[in-house]
Amino acid sequence: MSVKLGVPSKGRLMEKTFDWFADRGVKLSRTGSDREYAGAVEGIEGIELVLLSAGEIPRELAAGRIHLGVTGSDLVREKLALWEEKVVELEPMGFGHADLVIAVPRAWVDVTTIDDLDAVAAAFRRRHGFRLRIATKYHRLIRDYLRAGGVADYQLVDSQGATEGTVKNETAEAIADITSTGETLRANHLKILSGGPVHRSQATLFKSRQADWTPEDRMVLAHLKAMLQIER
């Protein structure tokens, strides 16, 4: 058996993941045609590359189908209930930075903090007879955050893309999404609530607690950690 390492097969995290490993002497590559999801590992024995979408890596780690995986720290927290029981954060990788934020229309001049949002949400419900809508794909993280902040009078509406457009399209009053440059929020006349992001995300190397770790696998992991200079 070998240690299965899941890495993003495309998208914004793939190339930087390959670079990060290459800088540490582990060469990951896609093999075969452009469209074939097969991979190779050079520089260390006993590791098998599994190419997956970043969004699927948390589930594969939790199911123990891969031993190690690279994905955004936001995706692990969002996709896995009690994530710390299923995976260990081995190393933040220093790229793929993005903040999960809650944003409201810039025109809501009286709303700056989460307490303001709470007040507006209660008033909104009284006035309109339904709860203020927050569009997001980060259901778990936003629910937990709003519960901790004491906000109850809201509903989440699912938005898997172009989330910032939902306010203009009048399918939501507020949004919760990832931002890096802030361009998309600005372009859509939205402002971030103060008090810091819900989560500061970056690409992270995770270890599965659920996978079957044979004694040989543990030796491979120790060797890999030494190459990657991971102390945990």
Residues near ligand PRP (CB under 6 A): 161-164, 177-184
Find the distance separating the first CA and the last CA of the chain, reported in whole Å. Answer: 23
Of 91-130, binders to ligand ATP (CB under 6 A) are: 96, 98
Smallest distance from ligand ATP to CB 146, Å: 19
DSSP-derived pairing of the beta strands 47-52 and 3-8: parallel
Residue 210's binding partner out of ligand ATP, ligand PRP, none, with CB under 5 to 8 Å set by partner kind = none
- Answer for the pair 100, 138: CB distance below 8 angstroms, yes or no: yes
Q: Interface with ligand ATP includes 136 (CB under 6 A)?
A: no
Count of residues that interact with ligand ATP, criterion CB under 6 A: 16
Q: Interface with ligand ATP includes 58 (CB under 6 A)?
A: no
Q: What burial class does residue 137 get, using C-beta atoms within 10 Å of its C-beta: 0-12 exposed, 13-18 middle, 19+ buried?
A: middle
Neighbours of 171 (CB within 10 A): 12
Which of 178, 190, 193, 228: binder of ligand ATP (CB under 6 A)? Answer: 178
Residue 182's binding partner out of ligand ATP, ligand PRP, none, with CB under 5 to 8 Å set by partner kind = ligand PRP
Sign of the torsion angle spanned by Cα atoms 168, 149, 178, 14? negative
Closest residue to ligand PRP: CB criterion: 161
